[in-house]
Amino acid sequence: MDRMPALDEPLKKTLGDRTAKVMAEHLGLHTVGDLLHHYPRRYAERGELTRLSDLEVDEHATVVAQVEKSAMLGSGRGHRLEVVITDGSGRLTLVYFGKGAFKPQKELPPGRRALFAGKVTVFNHRRQLSHPDYKLLAADGDGTEADEWANQLLPIYPAVRQFASWRIQQAVDVVLDTMESTNWEGVIDPLPPALRANRGFATLPEALLKIHRPRTKADIAIARERLKWDEAFVLQVALARRRAAEGQLPAVPRVPKKDGILAAFDARLPFTLTDGQRKVSEEIFAELATAHPMHRLLQGEVGSGKTMVALRAMLAVVDAGGQAALLAPTEVLAQQHHRSITEMMGELAQGGMLGGAEDATKVVLLTGSMGTAARRQPLLDLATGEAGLVIGTHALIEDKVQFHDLGLVVVDEQHRFGVEQRDALRSKGKQPPHLLVMTATPIPRTVAMTVFGDLETSVLDQLPAGRSPIATHVVPAKDKPHFLARTWERIREEVGEGHQVYVVCPRIGDDEDDKAAAKKKASPEDEAEKRPPLAVLDIADELSNGALQGLRLEYLHGRMPPDAKDDVMRRFAAGEVDVLVATTVIEVGVNVPNATVMVIMDADRFGVSQLHQLRGRVGRGSAPGLCLLVSEMPEGTSARARLDAVAATLDGFELSRIDLEQRREGDVLGQAQSGTRSSLRMLSVIDDEEVIEAAREEATAIVAEDPELERYPDLRTALDALLDEEREQYLDKG
């Protein structure tokens, strides 16, 4: 049996069972490669004091600082040691209780410098570390202690309470010594030698040594450059191979008739398409006409007219004898799409019915809550081909749904769906159908090249004529309660002028909601506020009996029966409801041009992109829009800074960068986009645009020349390591 590549060696072989178990459980590190790719977060220089003023509450921090003062307080069993450390930028208190106070009392006198590690908490409005670990650093001129850090950069690793940064460094040292003793035997280098030589990169062993044991800052730069390239290049090769494979699949070309349903639809439009809509439509039509499946991402600002572009693509496929399916994430949105599409199409949506146009087709709706009897006819129409268009939710994916000739799948708000769901719908075509993925969450170009690197990208950045600007303001409800009172007055004024208003809350507030909240651990901000997020049912009741008494007020949330949800939305769209108090169920797709004000309660509980999405529900008509972000978070907090950022710009791409920076990047190959685990450890999809672009070019060239990577066995091995079975399936499903 061949020897396992050295980086795949289990850590327990080198570090022992106990250490390996802690690293696996608390840091997710299992192999030598995992540990060597667990890079230092930063480096502290001897004598350089880390900025304490930058520490965030609840962060697990490692700092280099000096003891300013130390005092034992209290007596008997209640005694505690308080140590104040400083770095010139700020101060931090360390607290030790009981017997644990005696050792640090002796070892941490004023003037002593050390590495301290612990979780930052707040007590009596002061930040502190409770029982932090520490490692003493040699004092200048102190001959009693080996000055092991003299002239060295100290690597500070992402750590946890159970395993401090310096313990990680010790483990890395053991592994590096072992690797060097075998001359890095069995370590494969994913970069082809010619590419490495042309770009002047360090070898992989050299880069790993320099990142963990740098002598100079130049060493760190050399290592970072090489290791960023590894991540970008291997990922781009995976995506390039995916694009190449898709390009080989057969598909039915779909070319619209010159005088068919698409031409008839365009002729009845009461407005002119924007230049952006025309340009993107031409890109889509060109791809639909080819014998290989289209794989295109359509992204555009809220209200940029993506649905119109998607509908024209769907009608082009119907013209060519095929069917098109629009997959929506919620029933509210599916119903809204069905209603707006049938209204836009008029008699063109009445195929087979009295009054239907000559080129008409049927447009059917299919959702999970529809009863067996209600579903029977739509299912029959799809199977026979009578229905050219279907709009639906996850119900479209069920086995019993059969298509006569599925030619195009449109996925709305793709981030709401798992790849398995999209794949299940695509598999219903006799040959692979064309795929159009839409998102109203603007995606920075570099993210599109990584997360959606196997899709061609179209961007709609032009708003249709007649759209109004949206003014956004933060309402500091706690600091300035009269601002909140003014908010409700402003709503009355808008309603008085014949307009309508959304009030959005983060929670429903029913029994089920409360049970779920009780099980869920409160966030630090929840703890600080000592109250749960505001709820739709509570706020609706409070407003209808108080500040907005007399107005026609309704509520809407995801757990209402589908008929009730649809009824509320219909009446709101018809102008029969003045104020709609809702959850984020209205976040995407809901189009009520007469709604001019969006009030978002506890706005700090929402992400930046979500706030931008919600704001896009107003200003869709001729009257200007107003968005009010209500929050109790004080100035100076990161939550408040997030709201200020949203209020400062309507540029969704700028906000998506801010959102991504705050959430971290998630696993760009996996389904967890929450930022908790990332396959990118060194590369930043926000900051490293040039690296990603260059890696994409190199990867595309190599895959074009050698799709199976037969001449690049080391690269193939690295690809297999990156793409474990789950991620391989993720890419396969697109």
Q: Check residue 147 and give its pLDDT.
A: 42
Separation CA 471–CA 647 (nearest Å): 8
Ranges 44-53, 56-65, 238-247, most confident: 238-247
46-61: per-residue pLDDT in tens? 545 456 777 777 777 7
Q: Check residue 666 and give its pLDDT.
A: 46
Helix (H, G, I), strand (E, B) or coil at 109: coil
Nearest-CA neighbor of 584 among 602, 572, 570?
Answer: 602
Ranges 156-170, 329-343, 487-501, 678-692, most confident: 487-501
Separation CA 710–CA 678 (nearest Å): 29
Question: CB 343: neighbour CB atoms within 10 A?
Answer: 9
The better pLDDT of the pair 620, 488 is held by 488
What is the CB-side half-sphere exposure of residue 23 using CA atoms within 13 A? Answer: 28
Helix (H) or strand (E) holding 492: helix 481-496
Q: Check residue 524 and give its pLDDT.
A: 41
Ranges 159-168, 217-226, 271-280, 341-350, most confident: 217-226
Statement: residue 711 has pLDDT above 90 = yes
Nearest-CA neighbor of 137 among 216, 51, 48?
Answer: 48
Helix (H, G, I), strand (E, B) or coil at 553: strand
Token pair listed for 159: 């750590």
Statement: residue 196 has pLDDT above 70 = yes
202-238 burial, b for 16+ CB within 10 Å, e for fewer?
A: bebbebbbbbbbbeeeebbebbbbbbbbbbbbbbbbb
Kindly indicate the confidence band of residue 3, based on its pLDDT and cuts at 50, 70 and 90: very low
Q: Which residue type is seen at 266?
A: D
Token pair listed for 142: 């102190």
Q: How far is CA 281 from the centre of its chain?
A: 27
Q: Check residue 513 and give its pLDDT.
A: 61
Separation CA 703–CA 689 (nearest Å): 21
Q: Check residue 466 and give its pLDDT.
A: 64
Question: Beta partners for 81?
Answer: 72, 96
Separation CA 74–CA 140 (nearest Å): 34
235 near 453, Cβ under 8 Å?
Answer: yes
Question: CB 596: neighbour CB atoms within 10 A?
Answer: 27
What is the pTM (predicted TM-score) of this model? 0.68
Q: Check residue 400 and give its pLDDT.
A: 85
Q: Strand (E) positions, 505-655?
A: 553-556, 579-582, 595-600, 625-631
Burial class of residue 593 in the structure, from the number of CB atoms within 10 Å of its CB (0-12 exposed, 13-18 middle, 19+ buried):
middle
How much is the average pLDDT of 594-613? 90
Statement: residue 727 has pLDDT above 70 = no
Q: Which of 144-158, 393-407, 500-514, 646-660 has the lowest mean pLDDT?
A: 144-158
Phi-psi region of 275 (alpha: psi -120 to 50; beta: other; left: phi over 0): alpha
Separation CA 315–CA 317 (nearest Å): 5
Mean pLDDT for the chain? 83
Indicate the angle between helix axes 331-345 and 562-573, nearest 10 degrees: 50
How much is the average pLDDT of 655-679? 52
Kindly indicate the confidence band of residue 678, based on its pLDDT and cuts at 50, 70 and 90: very low
Statement: residue 4 has pLDDT above 50 = no
Separation CA 54–CA 447 (nearest Å): 27
